[in-house]
Structure 1
């Protein structure tokens, strides 16, 4: 239902026009609540309403502040630049830039931010999706809001000739949709087996699991890939409760699977302890040991670690104490060479981090492996939302993505965003496919961060200049 995103943006913009700062904040805050309380309701499945409401309120506070900026743009800009050309050509771009600035802020701050819910992420199956290869996810958000703001402005203009003015946004939409898809640079295939064990992998399943159940479940599901000639076998995040680097039994099991599969290396997820630090790790198991690994760079605050634990614990001690150990952010690069195939690794919510994904491709990743564990979210929409983001990442980077979950829905997605194969949720299974490998960098990978910085910097600067000039004219 991707077209409804444009309707939602329009409702917010129309409601922001002509308000004072206080009422604009209230409108934005309520708009944010109406969105986030639905969008991230999966956070309440096991933890109850406190984290769900707290996250939704925090994001809605930022939404309210962003709406204030948009209201000020609608107030100040027409006072300084009064011609209809400026209002139609520049004001919508300014509104789009300010919306993008708010999305950029909440995607990185506080504690690494929460990039879920950006408007562009709704477009994974829309005609606008190919744009992310050119301008990235933030760039698509900017274009979407600017188009809607242009339509709102056209309808707001008092001058006659409405039909003629409506041609302006129509031409812009056609021009945007006419941008060709980025040409993929495929150069070969890798036969990849991705295994979904459908095991009790949730945080709260630990007390009910038998010892070794995670590992055994993955091994059982992996038997179907034996004899398929896989170049590599990929398991999900947290697919073994034992670290094979220190547990001899787990090591023997992986060696046996690799041998049965013709020596195929295995990429699996496990928790590693090194000294006093704990890492959420994806490791390459080959030749009887760990040959390379990636540690999750951005553990989830209040999920995988508690920032400023002493400060937050008094507010919800029972919930905070559920997180018994804090994962350490990783510092290693996110690429692993698997017998000549350069794989880019992402662990769970890494997939929503623009910088992590761009860095992997920039370092030469030819295919992306997205390992995740959705077991704590049950049959909620979280998995579908994450898969939509994954599809956009495939298009943005022009890379195939193997998205493998403990419980599903798992999928292999081609470099144009096409679905190659899937395993249904809550069913054990495996995907064995010849997955396209790609080289070359899309404009989004090369310049996506700079595009976002330019748009945001111009938007904030233009708003400030408009405010100063408007005050001078009033004075």
Structure 2
């Protein structure tokens, strides 16, 4: 009997095994708060596609497969994304009941991909093992990519969990994180069909060995350097103010906030005399109008002049006046001479934190949603690098680092290093901070760029082009850290192929469905 064939009778206990497996693998694979286990167990997420496929194969109908896959994935998403209610409550100002409901709704929407995958497995159950594995691998890729484009919150792709072990994500330089997830799904599906024939298991093991061998070759070919020297290298200073989120925007605390960052930066500069690093402060580190006439702004510019170093900081940007005023989540780059070298406005805003989604803009909810941010998205054409001292910084703010096409655009526009400033303080001590860090690390591999990540409460980091975190800060510490990085101009095969991968995968999937052989004995 084929591995995925439905048993004659499925007991209530056996019906719980697969959903429970999906739930546990998502929870433990992407991060959990359990103190006695490692923060995450990345390989477990690789079991999610075959478990969902097995669920779909054993279902009595396509609808049953969809429902079981969706509900199982929803339970796992709820456990992995429970922290969503924290920023929705603290940033958006929604009551706890609505915050929890919004978080559950987001998890419900994202987990529908699990239902679609299980339903696809049921529909394709008569295909030959190789066609089945390849088709479902392509479907997994297209689901991850499609949900990222449509839903706008691609927080739990398989590559985001695997990034904790850089060996597993090296092929992302060839195909990107989403297609790599599809490849791993296809290989695991082949391996799960071992009882149907040894050759399928051997093929799966050979493909896995090739992926791991490629990863090992890439990592060995460029050893990790915490402090790279030589041509193109430069110093980096990351300051974490650890500013209390409930005080940050109060006018009475603005001066103290500036003094905190000035003190942290000056102390680290004093420890490295003669160095002129790129100074990075986090997203909205300066919570005031960053105008030339503001005395606090002048203090920041004076620091850049004294250090003879470029300074990158986040601050709100204001344009227009009165009802026509627009507020932007902005990153300013101050040149070593104190002048403004340029700025970037965040283009991909966070729903419920920085804006209210259009589908929720109802009059009867206006009172509940009045505290939600009113930021305006930056223009997509404004993606040119911020330039100073030979650096061309491709800017990403907060969760923009989880979108592969944004990093792709920055590099296409000429960025030789990527900078991601963020404020993850709203996540508390939940796994979200680690999840965010590893999602960003995948972009380094895809684009062959160093990523400089500055945050308010952690996790600040320097990530090398192999996705290795060569400098990593703590969380909720008032500190500054010193590191080095290198400018790079070479691009990856994925950078060239990225626009063609989704349509190519869709065409290949269509060909497999139309022309792929069908088994008669299932």
TM range (shorter): 0.7 to 0.9
Hey, what's the Cα distance between the residues in 2 that align with 1:422 and 1:340?
25
Q: Residue 61 of structure 1: which of 112, 125, 130 is its match?
A: 112
For residue 5 of structure 1, what is the aligned residue in structure 2?
A: 45
1:440 maps to 2:490: yes
Hey, what's the Cα distance between the residues in 2 that align with 1:166 and 1:461?
24
For residue 68 of structure 2, what is the aligned residue in structure 1?
A: 27
1:117 maps to 2:152: no
| 8 Å Cα contact 2:56/2:120 also seen in 1 | no
Alpha-carbon shift at residue 315 of structure 1 (Å): 7.7
Q: Residue 399 of structure 2: which of 349, 352, 363 is its match?
A: 349
SS of 1:305 mapped into structure 2: coil
Aligned pairs for 1:270-419 (under 5 A) are 270-275=315-320, 276-286=325-335, 287-308=337-358, 311-313=360-362, 317=366, 319-331=368-380, 332-419=382-469
Alpha-carbon shift at residue 39 of structure 1 (Å): 1.5
SS of 2:332 mapped into structure 1: strand
| 8 Å Cα contact 2:69/2:115 also seen in 1 | yes
Distance change >3 Å, CA 316–CA 74, structure 1 → 2:
farther
| 8 Å Cα contact 1:347/1:370 also seen in 2 | yes
Alpha-carbon shift at residue 446 of structure 1 (Å): 1.6
Hey, what's the Cα distance between the residues in 1 that align with 2:341 and 2:282?
18
Aligned pairs for 1:160-309 (under 5 A) are 162-179=197-214, 180-181=217-218, 187-200=231-244, 202=245, 206=249, 210-227=253-270, 228=272, 229-261=275-307, 263-275=308-320, 276-286=325-335, 287-308=337-358
1:284-303 superposed Cα distances (whole Å, 9 cap, x missing partner):
12334422111111112222
Distance change >3 Å, CA 92–CA 232, structure 1 → 2:
same
Hey, what's the Cα distance between the residues in 1 that align with 2:432 and 2:63?
33
Hey, what's the Cα distance between the residues in 1 that align with 2:314 and 2:235?
20
1:106 maps to 2:143: no
Distance change >3 Å, CA 62–CA 233, structure 1 → 2:
same
Q: Residue 184 of structure 2: which of 138, 141, 144 is its match?
A: 144
Structure 2 segments unaligned to the other structure (5+ residues): 1-40, 90-95, 224-229
Q: What RMSD, in angstroms, separates the aligned Cα atoms of the two structures?
A: 2.6
| 8 Å Cα contact 2:193/2:200 also seen in 1 | no
SS of 2:171 mapped into structure 1: helix
Distance change >3 Å, CA 352–CA 209, structure 1 → 2:
farther
Alpha-carbon shift at residue 166 of structure 1 (Å): 2.6
Alpha-carbon shift at residue 255 of structure 1 (Å): 2.1
Hey, what's the Cα distance between the residues in 2 that align with 1:360 and 1:184?
24
1:31-54 superposed Cα distances (whole Å, 9 cap, x missing partner):
221221012111112523122111
| 8 Å Cα contact 2:290/2:316 also seen in 1 | no
Hey, what's the Cα distance between the residues in 1 that align with 2:465 and 2:396?
16
| 8 Å Cα contact 2:57/2:118 also seen in 1 | no
1:271-324 superposed Cα distances (whole Å, 9 cap, x missing partner):
111122221111112334422111111112222111316x44368555532214
SS of 2:239 mapped into structure 1: strand
Alpha-carbon shift at residue 415 of structure 1 (Å): 2.0
Distance change >3 Å, CA 355–CA 324, structure 1 → 2:
closer
Hey, what's the Cα distance between the residues in 1 that align with 2:471 and 2:86?
28
Instruction: Give the aligned length.
Output: 449
1:325-379 superposed Cα distances (whole Å, 9 cap, x missing partner):
1322333015111221111111011101111101112222222111000011111
Alpha-carbon shift at residue 15 of structure 1 (Å): 0.6
TM-score, with length taken from structure 1 = 0.87
| 8 Å Cα contact 1:92/1:153 also seen in 2 | no
Greater shift in the superposed pair: 426-435 or 284-293: 284-293
Greater shift in the superposed pair: 247-256 or 271-280: 247-256
Hey, what's the Cα distance between the residues in 2 that align with 1:55 and 1:461?
33
For residue 18 of structure 2, what is the aligned residue in structure 1?
A: none
Hey, what's the Cα distance between the residues in 2 that align with 1:73 and 1:348?
39
Greater shift in the superposed pair: 376-385 or 48-57: 48-57
Alpha-carbon shift at residue 98 of structure 1 (Å): 0.9
For residue 82 of structure 1, what is the aligned residue in structure 2?
A: none
For residue 57 of structure 2, what is the aligned residue in structure 1?
A: 17
